[in-house]
Amino acid sequence: MTSPFPILRQVVIGARDLEATSRELRETFHLEPGFADPLLEEMHLADETIPVGPEAHLELVGPLSDRASINAWLDRVGGTSGYCISVQVPDLDPHLAAIEAAGVRLAIQAEAYGRRIVQLHPGDMGLLVELDEIPDADEWFWDHLEHPPSPDPWIDDVVGIDLATPDPQGRAERWAAVFRVPVLEKDGHPVIELGTRTVRFVQDEAPRMSAIDVRATPAGAGLPEAIELGRVTLRVLRD
């Protein structure tokens, strides 16, 4: 069943050594190498996008040169950490109105592969957040690529993230306003749902994406419950 809008589609990890981080991630979860987004080269970024199941993606980004703005972010957060998420919406216009009403700044407003996108200022959201206008919930940017899935993956979905923030309730309310969804509560934490995936807001003085939840396949039964990748924890969930 197709997820309802808005849909959390892609979770991005920033790393200074992209090759080593990619190798560790792929070997841990038995994933095949991903593919690069050529548009990011213009921003002095190397990247690798790895499909995880039929709908979600994990992406790794890192600097191609000293000119890449991600260098300052890596210095500030102390190395590998959660960097960005991409969320699919059918129409940007109502979200743009909500973004303005919530007092959130736009970092980027552009087109990518013929689709309207905006990126929201991480200072206002606690994380770099991208909204991508693709009206058909069964489509995503990479559908045209002939990239074979991993034949025997140990994970098959990215099911949520934790956003650490000094003010979980306030941050959740801002995200809810931007995405036009309600704030819910789960296990004592405010959460919002983006399709079948969850953003959980947790208490911490250092704003960042602190955890990523992935779902194990039967082949991944031997995976540990949590894996540390720099400053982000990958939590392994099982049905």
Express each pLDDT in 91-124 by its tens digit: 999 999 999 999 999 999 999 999 999 999 999 9
Q: Helix 168-179 and helix 92-101: axis angle, to 10°?
A: 140
pLDDT exceeds 80 at position 239: yes
d(CA 138, CA 43): 29
Average pLDDT, the chain: 95
The confidence score (pLDDT) of residue 3 equals 54
Q: 171 exposed, middle or buried (CB, 10 Å; 0-12, 13-18, 19+)?
A: buried
The CATH class of the 7-133 domain is alpha beta
pLDDT exceeds 70 at position 1: no
Residue 196 DSSP SS3? coil
H-type alpha helices, 90-196: 92-101, 122-125, 168-179
pLDDT tens sequence across 124-153 = 999 999 999 999 999 999 988 878 888 999
The confidence score (pLDDT) of residue 144 equals 84
Give residue limits of the domains in the chain.
7-133, 155-237
- The more confident residue out of 145 and 60 is 60
Fold of 155-237: Immunoglobulin-like (2.60.40)
pLDDT tens sequence across 186-213 = 999 999 999 999 999 999 999 999 999 9
The confidence score (pLDDT) of residue 149 equals 80
pLDDT tens sequence across 79-88 = 999 999 999 9
